[in-house]
Structure 1
């Protein structure tokens, strides 16, 4: 297995493993789920639109099922977690992939700003509710998909987490993706005491997916012109996630992204996240706030 030119062919045999992938009916999630199923994993597509999920499942080979999950509703997250716990006594991989980007100002069913609520809080709750199914399984992993956007106008705005005073879609996206990394690092500290499950993160670089549909109007023309030149196909964008999930050499707290210039494209390698993402004081404050907002506590402290 080449560490410098890691491809889908380097995914080890996944037979006997159970993988849950959120947002798996399209784009990066679809390619992640497809590749895992092709290597023998039992894959659950956890998606908001089960019709689209079923159509995606028939395009994959292997053992693939669909679970309804709407990350914008904590009621849906709890229902999905209960269904998954009933169906799967053990879980090997939880891949927190689903996300929204640069959306107009909207809130979730629970009143959270849409990007923070979907990208971070929904996955925080889902992970906490499923974690006891991973903890007994040696080599199990939680992989959360972040973005280079975690560096853009990014901070955790505790004074206005839900952007009620003013709203900037790029800033809100940056906060949610920074939160993904802080969650990963804080979770790994807790998991390290158990020694079986680990947490890692990944970003896809610049991939041509449906996430780009909410690009602000002022950027739409340049993005449209540059997309064919700068982006990579979803199957390449999924490789950092797949490496974080399956490479035997992945360590807890690793962060993978494309290895090309600016981490925009290319085969995956370990990359660095911003200094802000490593602030443990802010990580723990975010963890406490997330527990309070979701009502979910973790079986690791």
Structure 2
């Protein structure tokens, strides 16, 4: 199979990519830092099966170019794993002026998929979105998607992870195979960007966290297996279907999110 993955140079993205390479698949790395990708590939025996495409999810023009390059890179894309994400201790904005959690965790992937939509449908590509149990803490306000009022890191991240699940279900609505997943709480560099109080809780929880290889297991499972059609659009944890929040299952909410997201990226959408 040929599998594309965002955020493939660190954390669970890298572990996902390495394991899938070991299984004999061809992997397309969609990465922000090309130099880092070159360094990472020096330590991967199967690097000959890797194609690298520049894709900065916080820069919509970069995402638009990456979508074009992805479609040109392979005649058959079996799986797209929207894995990249991040959390930021202060309110920051992307190059396009969007709150950074919204931009990196949702809008970049939304644009990438939309600009490849006909291609993905033609290839019957499976789209996997890495979400989080944090989605249950979301406080969604369509009047303030950019969180200019009452910003908090937890709310920004939780909202973005809710968007990942809503997006997954919308993709099923339009005819794709798509899954969302919680990888587990991972002992990685993720906690480095938290504020001091949250960082303390993160440190105290480290003994109970998964390592990156364990955290990648559900992404690998979903990428590697053909599941029953009844599981299309489902939310997975530890390779099993689990329930998501009531808001994540709300069709009116996901339709509104799609509409709002289209408006935010409209200047970069290919028609």
Whether TM-score is above 0.5 comes out as: yes
**Match of residue 99 from structure 1:** 85
C-alpha deviation, 1:96, in angstroms? 0.3
Deviations 1:44-100 (A, max 9, x none): 111111111122223334301211110000000011111112222331111000001
C-alpha deviation, 1:298, in angstroms? 8.6
1:21 aligns with 2:1: no
Say if 1:72 and 1:110, in contact at 8 Å, map to a contact too: yes
Say if 2:191 and 2:199, in contact at 8 Å, map to a contact too: no
Which consecutive residues of structure 2, in runs of 5 or more, have no partner in the other structure? none
> TM (normalized to structure 2)?
0.93
**Match of residue 14 from structure 1:** none
1:216 aligns with 2:200: no
1:129 aligns with 2:115: yes
Match of 1:252 among 227, 232, 236: 232
CA-based RMSD of the aligned residues comes to: 1.6
Say if 1:155 and 1:178, in contact at 8 Å, map to a contact too: no
Q: Distance in 2 between matches of 1:200 and 1:57?
A: 28
Higher helix fraction (1 or 2): 2
Which consecutive residues of structure 1, in runs of 5 or more, have no partner in the other structure? 1-16, 192-196, 259-267
Match of 1:225 among 204, 210, 229: 204
Q: Distance in 2 between matches of 1:146 and 1:79?
A: 25
**Match of residue 32 from structure 2:** 48
Q: Distance in 2 between matches of 1:133 and 1:37?
A: 23
Alignment of 1:132-151 (within 5 A): 132-138=118-124, 140-151=125-136
Say if 1:206 and 1:237, in contact at 8 Å, map to a contact too: yes
1:290 aligns with 2:268: no
C-alpha deviation, 1:246, in angstroms? 2.0
TM superposition outliers: structure 1 runs of 4+ over 6 Å: none
Q: Distance in 2 between matches of 1:145 and 1:33?
A: 14
**Match of residue 249 from structure 2:** 278
